[in-house]
Structure 1
Amino acid sequence: MNKLNITNKPKAILLLGPTASGKTKLAITLHQMLPIEIISVDSALIYRQMNIGTGKPTPEELSSTPHRLLDIKDPSERYSASEFRQDALIEMKQILKNDRIPCLVGGTMFYFKTLIEGLSILPSADFYIRHKIDQIANEKGTNFLHEKLCKIDPKSGYLIHPNDLQRIQRALEVFYITGKTFTEMKKLSKEPLQYDLYQFAIMPYSRELLHKRIELRFKNMLASGFEDESRYLFERGDLNINMPSMRCVGYRQMWSYISGVIKYEDMVYKGICATKQLAKRQITWMRKWNNLHWLDSDNIQIAASKVLKIFNNSTY
């Protein structure tokens, strides 16, 4: 039966961490210790046919420990934070009906933030405006759009990475529809998550160790067939580098290599560097997070025991 505390809200566990920090391994370990079901919080793992380059759990891992919200979109499709929140809430409710505890695991910090804080009252997508923004992106590039956003809405420009085309487009679209900046619109009323949250962050004690793990992980992906996976996507003919799926770390660099823009060794170097930069941004998010219990990923069993102790001590 799902455990409740004195607020009578259902419990949920949130497990955040940068790429290559051991989130999946910890989640699988926790699944053996607690009555949890796992929901993926990752903007890359949603895509089908993108398994190796995203570090998706193996079929064996998924067989023993199923993850929800994996493989729910084709790489040609878009998926917003608001859609994630809607889907996650449905999955969480279903898990509660199963008398189990939702455990949300991933590294897409904006998804976590949207889930916890709720959604601002933002306008629906406008096809005409979005098409015009897409045209500008194709003609002048993502950096041009990002610079434009920084002039219109400096705060959003600072918070949104210059390569995050989807969020740049959305911020500009909101401004062109409403005449108000994305920052202004986000201040409007929200509906926060009605769960008691137990929030954990996992990462190696040493930043140097994390970087070594990232480099090893990327090279293992290459050895496992990442290039063949990427070539299959490239040769489909309906994808391009400006799509959110193909702008995922690793795929973006592999696309440049396959299309002849950079050499293989440059792809490897740039892919590893981009992954380290992603981890840095994830850690920056985590450092600003409230109510996080920090876990050292150097020993997964100790980390899992800490989660278990904190969670059980809060239960009556």
Structure 2
Amino acid sequence: MSFPPAIFIMGPTASGKSRIALDIAAHFPVEIISVDSAQVFRLMNIGTAKPDQTTLSRIPHHLIDVIDPDQHYSAAEFRRSALTLMHEIIGRNKIPILVGGTMLYFRALQEGLSVLPSANPQLRHKLENMAEELGWPAMHQKLIELDPETAARIKPTDSQRIQRALEVCHLTQQPMSQVLKAPRLTDFPFEAISIALTPSDRSQLHRRIAERFDDMMDGGLIEELVSILRQFPSLTPEAPSMRCVGYRQAYLYLNDQINMMQLRDMGIAATRQLAKRQLTWLRSMNNERLQEFDCLSPNLSIQVRSFLQQRLHAQST
């Protein structure tokens, strides 16, 4: 039995994934699914490099503007939504093209996720109150006592991951590291055509990152965050939305913790670190069917289109 195709466009930030996806959409019958943990947030447009309204009205996009900035969105939620959308797109005789840099989402989609309990608002509120009184390093110490294996992989200041690990421990009455060793749900009834956009010259990618960050600043990133905080005054630096690169640094600036020069330097440095992690994820996938292209190539679009034509033709015959 052959499965319907799904195109994956992966790569580090500033590698041109969105541009390539739009070029593909101009030549193939596709609908785009965003694989971006930042673009799910409403109102966060400039710092997440969302497509503009003209593009969104011209080409179908999914999983953009899903939740408010004060809400949470998990890899499990992404997997459920993405699989549903992929089936619907195939039902419309089109090809789903999944585009983004959140490598955890790509892995969760293909390899599945361990069955973890859903978030418990009451327990989370209790943990947050404890953390406010004791501090997150002390909460990390509690995690060491309950689940040393998981604690060893989490920094004492990583409030989001500490909270989730403690939550799972309390809800399941066993260490999260043990829960994660259980069999995964791995149903993925699609034939992935995986494309990785990687740089042949890392310094050129760094230049793109700096230019992109400057464009976001010029485009009104700070003003956008001011508007968001006005609508959601309870947002803290620990909120998932405020942990996004660019917004975290802008938040510090608005709270007089850093100056404008530091905002730029820290934002670019954080984006470069993000790109490094994304490239590490790609290497760890070790997928023999992952087709790699130099994102700096002047004829990148032609190369990708030619590859897709061959793969889609081979699959249909």
Q: Structure 1-normalised TM-score?
A: 0.90
Structure-1 residue corresponding to 2:293: 295
What percentage of aligned pairs have identical amino acids?
A: 43
Structure-2 residue corresponding to 1:4: none
Structure-2 residue corresponding to 1:256: 252
Structure-2 residue corresponding to 1:227: 222
Structure-2 residue corresponding to 1:277: 273
The one of 4, 14, 25 aligned to 1:10: 4
Counterpart AA for 2:228: L
Deviations 1:91-130 (A, max 9, x none): 1111011011111111111111111122322223233321
Aligned in 2, Cα 1:20/1:239: closer, same or farther, shift over 3 Å? same
Measured after TM superposition, the shift of residue 161 of structure 1 is 7.1
Measured after TM superposition, the shift of residue 137 of structure 1 is 4.4
Measured after TM superposition, the shift of residue 61 of structure 1 is 2.4
Deviations 1:69-93 (A, max 9, x none): 1011111111111111111111111
Structure-1 residue corresponding to 2:16: 22
Counterpart AA for 1:222: M
The one of 163, 166, 171 aligned to 1:169: 163
Structure-2 residue corresponding to 1:247: 243
Distance in 1, matches of 2:15 and 2:138, equals 33
Gap runs ≥5 in structure 2:
none
The one of 191, 209, 212 aligned to 1:214: 209
Is the 1:203–1:210 Cα contact (8 Å) retained in structure 2?
Answer: no
With 34-43 and 53-62 compared, the bigger mean Cα shift is at 53-62
Structure 2 counterparts to residues 1-316 of structure 1, below 5 A: 7-139=1-133, 145=139, 149=143, 153=147, 156-157=150-151, 165-192=159-186, 193-236=188-231, 237-291=233-287, 292-299=290-297, 300-301=300-301, 302-316=303-317
Counterpart AA for 1:206: D
Measured after TM superposition, the shift of residue 171 of structure 1 is 2.2
Gap runs ≥5 in structure 1:
1-6
Counterpart AA for 1:297: C
Give the aligned length.
310
Is the 1:257–1:263 Cα contact (8 Å) retained in structure 2?
Answer: yes
Measured after TM superposition, the shift of residue 229 of structure 1 is 0.3
Let me know the Cα RMSD of the aligned residues.
2.2
Deviations 1:148-188 (A, max 9, x none): 65675565456667776434422221122223332321222
Aligned in 2, Cα 1:244/1:206: closer, same or farther, shift over 3 Å? same
Measured after TM superposition, the shift of residue 208 of structure 1 is 1.0
Distance in 2, matches of 1:137 and 1:206, equals 43
Report the 3-state secondary structure (helix = DSSP H, G, I; strand = E; otherwise coil) of the residue aligned with 1:130.
helix
With 254-263 and 204-213 compared, the bigger mean Cα shift is at 204-213
Distance in 2, matches of 1:143 and 1:286, equals 31
Counterpart AA for 1:294: E
Measured after TM superposition, the shift of residue 211 of structure 1 is 0.9
Report the 3-state secondary structure (helix = DSSP H, G, I; strand = E; otherwise coil) of the residue aligned with 2:210.
helix
Distance in 1, matches of 2:132 and 2:309, equals 49
Distance in 1, matches of 2:156 and 2:35, equals 22
Distance in 1, matches of 2:237 and 2:244, equals 9
Distance in 2, matches of 1:95 and 1:227, equals 37
Distance in 1, matches of 2:255 and 2:118, equals 35
Aligned in 2, Cα 1:163/1:249: closer, same or farther, shift over 3 Å? farther
Is the 1:145–1:168 Cα contact (8 Å) retained in structure 2?
Answer: yes
Aligned in 2, Cα 1:151/1:188: closer, same or farther, shift over 3 Å? same
